[in-house]
Structure 1
């Protein structure tokens, strides 16, 4: 049997942790709580926060009733507290009737007797504003503006932070609490990973300050600076050649042949690659490209990820005509596996062909690093590199479909030819 700290803290907040307490003592506490729930004023932010707090308290009290050897008086008080929480939720929706009746019942007054409500708002059980609660509020607000893949990363980072901070009240946290969090994260994670997690922490905490949940964030300068370079390693030229040599041994109608080949010559993200359709392989300004877009329900990591990437015929032996024939025979989607299986098959192929270590320093994503390195090695203009890789920040991405598209796509195609036709 496991009793969580959350359960124990909830019992203590309600004064239910004393098995010797009389019913009258517990009833007085219940009256204070019920009256506070009935009279407390709320803004939009606190309405959401108290809905979550009430849900957590309701769950904790139910588990306490089921798992702990509570006295008869304690069990009676827990039962009434559950009624109060349920009624408090209705009051948050503008329906206070049940809560009014509970207060009258506890005070032993008839329904015709006026209820003298306590003006004090300080008797509501003080629950810590945990990072779990705070990040839940953040994700709920941002869910419509964040791609599903990014939201998974957000949730993963927030869970890692929440597991360490636990029941820490962020309304009273200190800089030492944040430094201890960093130290705990660094115990079993690489500095580069910790830097990403702490970046997410700063985002959530700054959001919380801006929305008046907490008064201070205390996350400035927290991210580690040593050892934070990406752990992902680019493939060597010999590895790239070996990978393409393997791809060319696969049948012309093999999706793996073309998925591996496109990864090598375009540096596309694996999620972008998986979503390609027949319509995304086309000519723009006389150049054959793949078009990374959000058409037909497809997703993209960022706005800058929306781009076209020229296909370089002959790069590491890539056969553009054979690829076009593969595309012509496709129904709509070029690759039909789900995200997890698609990634597993391609990364498994890389490990098998190149005898990679299991430490994930070289994966399909490393192909992006390889292409970036190849472009940099031939001194390609930075804006062109960014446009090809989907990190565009300059005029090229803005002009791709404008009057200068022919010139810009031609420059991208020339850059890839210089970098890849070795």
Structure 2
């Protein structure tokens, strides 16, 4: 749990009773604010990592119960009192149900909580019992992360051990991270610090990818002290990654490595890094393959065979004719289908708590009536009958259904070289084949720095929208 703490002089927030918490919403995302009793100046602010109110309240209750586990307002708490709370914390983490959004949120909050507890153990004047509770809580958090990946064995053992331990047993204190240990920094430490600092500027979906990449790198580097790492260490990392990964995947991982290492140097954690020039070039092109024209036509033929009120029909069709990312598509609302300068478009925006991969992804994409048999009027009727969101499934289920349809209709290989994302590659290839100017193609796909959003329309936007519409008509004419 990384917190923004603004403390009045002399106030130790970790040993001060907390006033009643309250929640607020900013840019669609929910936050929890806590403050010490008796002051209006000191406070903690925690991002709850979600735009869904019900999920936010569940996460908030979980955080508050976890804080109570350490009796942070009572340094005199006995080990028996702390152990009882830790049992509740561990059992709750073991048995709680998760949806797609809460899995992402809890993974990130547990990581931040883990980092904050390690700093507290190393730097704050906690009692021996509090230190012991923090040490056990770190084990619970690590095991909870494993449980959310479907491996609950460690957490089950922790719950069993805590319940089976007799009250009053004396156990030697074992700090999870001593002050002296802070002199060395593993890649796991660096990446945790990096993600904690960037948590508010990186979208949840992107942060999930950052976290996964950093875990893969950190597993190989292990306990290597990055303050004394060598060029040979980095070359060994690259070679180890290449043992069981495609060059294109290794290239992405090493790009993430460089991002974290540059950040560490710029922020004074490292004096230098030796990660440059490592990326493989042979076979490093994207492993994602575009669909052929025959495959695209077969997919659209399947879509058109579905009922006009079936959401799958329109999700597949929009993927083909607009090249949207699957999460951009899933979040579309009724209000996002509109006319701009007489052209029907879908608007990719951040309204109502929606997220996009980058700011350049904010754009409008024209809808090409007749492309591969796309029926614009039938789609508009589907939109008219929709409540608010066009597609109501969560991210994981939405992706599974659409990619499952692709596999069934096109008999795709199991190696994931062709997925829903391949439709973007197909459209990019069609735009290139039609000799569409690069800038216009990038505006359609959301790569250009000059992409259009509903909030950023300028004097030339009408011309640009019509230019994109004409480009898509030309590119999709074969269909």
Q: Under a length normalisation based on structure 1, what TM-score does the superposition of the two structures give? A: 0.73
Within 5 A, what are the aligned runs for 1:16-415? Answer: 51=119, 54=122, 59=135, 78-79=172-173, 124=180, 128-394=184-450, 401-415=457-471
Q: 1:389 to 1:126 in 2, by over 3 A?
A: closer
Cα distance in 2, alignment partners of residues 53 and 220 from structure 1: 35
Q: Is the 8 A contact 2:347 2:454 kept in 1?
A: no
Encode CA deviations 1:210-259: one digit per residue, 9 max, x unaligned.
11111111111011111110000000000000000000000000000000
Q: Which runs of 5+ in 1 are unaligned?
A: 1-46, 68-74, 89-122
User: 1:8 maps to what in 2?
Assistant: none
Q: CA deviation at 1:393?
A: 2.8
Q: Is the 8 A contact 1:194 1:224 kept in 2?
A: yes
Cα distance in 2, alignment partners of residues 398 and 275 from structure 1: 16
Encode CA deviations 1:179-231: one digit per residue, 9 max, x unaligned.
10001100000010011111111010111111111111111101111111000
Q: CA deviation at 1:399?
A: 11
Q: Which runs of 5+ in 2 are unaligned?
A: 1-114, 124-130, 140-157, 162-168
Encode CA deviations 1:138-188: one digit per residue, 9 max, x unaligned.
100000000000000000000001100000011111111111000110000
RMSD over aligned Cα, in angstroms? 2.8
Cα distance in 1, alignment partners of residues 210 and 333 from structure 2: 28
Cα distance in 2, alignment partners of residues 201 and 165 from structure 1: 11
Q: CA deviation at 1:78?
A: 3.4
Structure label with greater radius of gyration: 1
Q: CA deviation at 1:76?
A: 8.1
Cα distance in 2, alignment partners of residues 182 and 329 from structure 1: 53
Q: 1:62 to 1:307 in 2, by over 3 A?
A: closer
Larger RCO (CA under 8 A, 6+ residues apart): 1
Write 1 or 2 for the structure with the bigger share of helix: 1
Encode CA deviations 1:275-297: one digit per residue, 9 max, x unaligned.
00000000000000000000000
Q: 1:257 to 1:141 in 2, by over 3 A?
A: same
Q: Is the 8 A contact 1:400 1:409 kept in 2?
A: no
Does the residue aligned with 1:139 lie in a helix, a strand or coil?
helix
Q: CA deviation at 1:372?
A: 0.3
Cα distance in 2, alignment partners of residues 400 and 407 from structure 1: 14
Q: CA deviation at 1:128?
A: 2.9
Moved over 4 A (4+): 47-50, 55-58, 60-63, 394-400
Cα distance in 2, alignment partners of residues 125 and 143 from structure 1: 25
User: 2:38 maps to what in 1?
Assistant: none
Cα distance in 2, alignment partners of residues 76 and 187 from structure 1: 47
Cα distance in 2, alignment partners of residues 152 and 124 from structure 1: 31
Q: 1:364 to 1:62 in 2, by over 3 A?
A: closer
Cα distance in 1, alignment partners of residues 441 and 394 from structure 2: 30
Does the residue aligned with 2:226 lie in a helix, a strand or coil?
coil
Does the residue aligned with 1:402 lie in a helix, a strand or coil?
coil
Cα distance in 2, alignment partners of residues 158 and 307 from structure 1: 30
- Tell me the number of residue pairs that the alignment of Structure 1 and Structure 2 aligns: 329
Q: 1:395 to 1:290 in 2, by over 3 A?
A: closer
Q: 1:286 to 1:215 in 2, by over 3 A?
A: same
Does the residue aligned with 2:347 lie in a helix, a strand or coil?
strand
Q: CA deviation at 1:306?
A: 0.3
Q: 1:61 to 1:177 in 2, by over 3 A?
A: farther
User: 1:43 maps to what in 2?
Assistant: none
Does the residue aligned with 1:291 lie in a helix, a strand or coil?
strand
